[in-house]
């Protein structure tokens, strides 16, 4: 599977996770370099646009993503 199209510009990894590189790599391997379509951030971005993805939304927070999508 190809990498997430937002990997290089994702503020979550290029800002939020810089102090936790091991955890960031774990998320990148599972979500960004794996099945990125299950990433909560990708789901919100696809449904609502990148500008609606909260900076603090973790890739594994699918429930929070669904709530955001359903509210719009």
pLDDT in tens, 32-57: 888 899 999 999 999 999 999 998 89
Residue 11 has pLDDT above 90, yes or no: no
**Which pLDDT does position 52 carry in this prediction?**
95
Q: To the nearest whole percent, how much of the chain has pLDDT over 90?
A: 50
Contacts of 43-50 with C-beta under 8 Å, sequence gap 24+, read 43/69, 44/68, 44/69, 45/6, 47/72, 48/72, 50/6
Q: At 28, is the pLDDT very low, low, confident or very high (cuts 50, 70, 90)? A: confident
């Amino acid at each position: 599977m190809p990498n997430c199209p937002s990997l290089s510009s994702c503020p979550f990894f290029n800002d939020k996770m810089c102090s936790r590189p091991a955890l960031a790599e774990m998320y990148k391997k599972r979500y960004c370099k794996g099945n990125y379509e299950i990433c909560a951030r990708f789901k919100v971005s696809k449904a609502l646009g990148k500008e609606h993805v909260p900076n603090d939304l973790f890739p594994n927070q699918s429930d929070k993503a669904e709530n955001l999508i359903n509210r719009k």
